[in-house]
A and B are shown apart, each in its own frame.
Chain A
């Protein structure tokens, strides 16, 4: 079946693009915007963690850099917001490349890689909480300037379309990775790094490239966050919450798949909202649910909810077929 590889993406994005035409509800648009933001950040994580098998616990490092560069360039140096946003993405990519170069050159993988990414995110968080340029403990406020040139809008709809466009871009990147030779190298490194090296794949370079792209996508999420909420501080930008959301979305939706992060973000955010409806806005409870979901997904649907029916069927089939075997033995 030779189909145009981007047909599914076009369909999904086109369907999502009609939402602001159907409803003017700020609640709905706000919910979807935040969910799409998490989908974007999650896709960033997915490029490195899903396709590359390198589980980062510190994607906050890239999210925060994107957010701070966007905000600080505007407020302190008078740079145009869109320009700041672009430089924020570049800054995030740079941070990703530096951390990646250090980590992969030293041959860190598995738990060690998770630890070193976590440590870098924490160092940046502490630096941002004391450095004067980031506003230290007070944080950075972006002045209200409701003009499209300033990346601010009167209504929610333009924000929604922008984040949707960014998500669409990230979906295309994921699909391109799947279709490309680079993607094949990346998957080879994930499945068996030694074997991939033996076949002539430059594993360190492939991982570094994946991490740079991953960081750039996540930094775009950070820059968008700054423009949407107009306020960041060290706990928001570099806090552990975003590192967790970044890996939770693809884990839930389907790690190493094009639509996994989007699906996962929608499911996780819906769960979060439902919890709030039931219990009121209690701090911590939504994260209790997220943590529980993470454990349950790993235990029962390691390939994500999209593959859950197939996985369960396989499990039942195994159970059924194992009964006579055991009787024989």
Chain B
């Protein structure tokens, strides 16, 4: 066994990384909960957001945390437009078609980025990226602590929006009973697009939180999105609590697997959990029985 001096920092770092995973998963689960589709373009949209945050700093000198203020509404609009004008009309209301359309969008975005920026891996070099915070039991990087706090705040905000605003209530109504919501005068197409926009906006925030300490290349989103799929399935499709708890859990699992098995095999741990949950409890820990 490893000593606590190695184990505790690994656990903490796992939790902090898991928070960002949770945010990515939050967007995915929100979209699934309302539209009942798995958005295969989620990873590619995250990659696009990371490139946006990267170039906002490189070209305009904008701090990633400030860029989030602009990028979040921008990606909300992007998500809204994608669902309203591409995915919705193209899918003809069939689940199989939605799978293919979101996959097609993912392929387009990812490879357009590859074409524009090549496969090069880029990273920002920010002064505060290397600052550490002393948590008493371990030192952790400052940007990760910031990310953790922001994720909790975003989750709380999302909960408030869903619970108390008219739009939030409409979203929950559509998620629960689409036909009933439509009959009570809710514009379902609009609510679908708003939900997709909110899910995409989560990605813009996640991207801005990641970019100070992470790298970006055209395939970077894939790693996150498979983790996000795992979290969503583990936490229960459509469950916001599930996404948060699942995210933290997966962060810790990855960190510990990496410690014991090494970097590349560490990823296997996540996939194995994913497959096991899919096979034996596809409704997840917090989801309703499918």
A binding-site residues for B, Cβ under 8 Å: 53, 55, 57, 102-103, 106-108, 110-112, 114-116, 118-120, 122-123, 126-127, 129-130, 240, 244, 247, 251, 282-285, 287-288, 290-295, 298-299, 302
Contact present for B100 and A251 (CB under 8 Å) = yes
CB neighbors of A among B262-290 (8 A): 264-265, 267-268, 271-272, 274-275, 278-280, 282
Contact between chains at A291 and B105 (CB < 8 Å): yes
Chain B 99-132 interface residues, beta-carbon cutoff 8 Å to A: 99-101, 103-115, 118-119
A-B contact pairs, 17 of them (CB 8 A): A53-B96, A106-B279, A106-B282, A112-B278, A116-B275, A118-B226, A119-B274, A283-B118, A284-B112, A285-B115, A293-B104, A294-B103, A295-B90, A295-B101, A298-B90, A299-B90, A302-B97
> Which of chain A's residues have a CB closer than 8 A to the CB of B114?
283-284, 287
Whether A108 and B111, one on each chain, are in contact in the complex, defined by CB atoms closer than 8 angstroms, is: no
Please encode chain B, from 71 to 94, with 1 for each CB lying within 8 Å of some chain A CB and 0 for all others: 000000000000000100111101
Contact A294 B275 (CB under 8 A): no
User: Which 3 pairs, one residue from A and one from B, show the smallest C-beta to C-beta distance?
Assistant: A291-B107, A284-B114, A294-B104
Q: Which of B40, B105, B233, B264 has a CB less than 8 Å from the CB of A129?
A: B264
Q: Tell me whether B279 and A283 are in contact (CB under 8 A).
A: no
A282: chain B residues within 8 A (beta carbon): 115
Interface residues of B, Cβ cutoff 8 Å to A: 37-38, 40, 86, 89-92, 94-97, 99-101, 103-115, 118-119, 218, 222, 226, 229, 233, 264-265, 267-268, 271-272, 274-275, 278-280, 282
When distances are taken between beta carbons in the complex, the residues of chain B under 8 Å from A119 are 226, 229, 271, 274-275, 278
Docked pose: A54 CA to B114 CA in angstroms: 30
Inter-chain contact A287/B107, CB cutoff 8 Å: yes
Q: Is the CB of B103 within 8 A of A57?
A: yes
User: Known interface pairs A102-B279, A130-B264, A295-B104. Does A114 touch B99 (Cβ–Cβ under 8 Å)?
Assistant: yes
On chain A, the residues within 8 Å of B107 by CB distance are 244, 287-288, 290-291, 294
Contact A299 to B108, CB < 8 A, known contacts A111-B99, A114-B38: no
Among A106, A115, A127, chain B packs the most CB atoms within 10 A around the CB of A115
Q: Are B280 and A292 in contact (CB under 8 A)?
A: no
Q: Which residue of A lies closest to B279 (CB)?
A: A106
B108 & A291 in contact (Cβ 8 Å cutoff): yes
* CB neighbours of A112 from chain B (8 A): 278, 282
A-B contact count (CB 8 A): 125
The reply to whether B100 and A103 contact each other, CB–CB distance below 8 Å, is no
CA distance A302 to B90 in the complex (A): 9
Q: What is the distance, in angstroms, from B246's C-beta to the closest C-beta of chain A?
A: 15
Chain B neighbourhood of A284, CB < 8 A? 110-115, 218
For B272, list chain A residues within 8 Å (CB).
123
In whole angstroms, what is the CA distance A290 to B100 when docked? 12
Whether B37 and A111, one on each chain, are in contact in the complex, defined by CB atoms closer than 8 angstroms, is yes
For B262, the closest partner residue in chain A by CB is: A130
Cβ-defined contact, A292 with B100, below 8 A: no
Shortest distance between the CB of A239 and any CB in chain B (Å): 11
Q: Is there an interface contact between B108 and A116, defined as CB atoms closer than 8 Å?
A: no
**Of the residues A55, A115, A287, contact of B233 by C-beta under 8 Å:** A115
Q: Is the CB of B111 within 8 A of A123?
A: no
Of chain B, the residue at the smallest CB distance from A57 is: B103
Contacts A106-B278, A285-B111 aside, 14 further interface pairs with beta carbons under 8 A come to A53-B96, A55-B96, A103-B279, A126-B264, A126-B271, A129-B264, A284-B110, A284-B115, A287-B107, A288-B115, A292-B104, A295-B100, A295-B101, A302-B92
In the complex, which residue of chain B has the Cβ closest to the Cβ of A116? Answer: B278
Contact in complex: A115, B38 (CB < 8 Å): yes
Question: Which of A111, A285, A290 makes the CB contact (< 8 A) with B38?
Answer: A111
Q: Chain B's nearest CB lies how many Å from the CB of A183?
A: 19
Q: In the complex, A128→B31 CA distance in Å?
A: 33
Q: How far is the CB of B29 from chain A (nearest CB, A)?
A: 13
Give A283 Cβ to nearest chain B Cβ, in Å.
Answer: 6
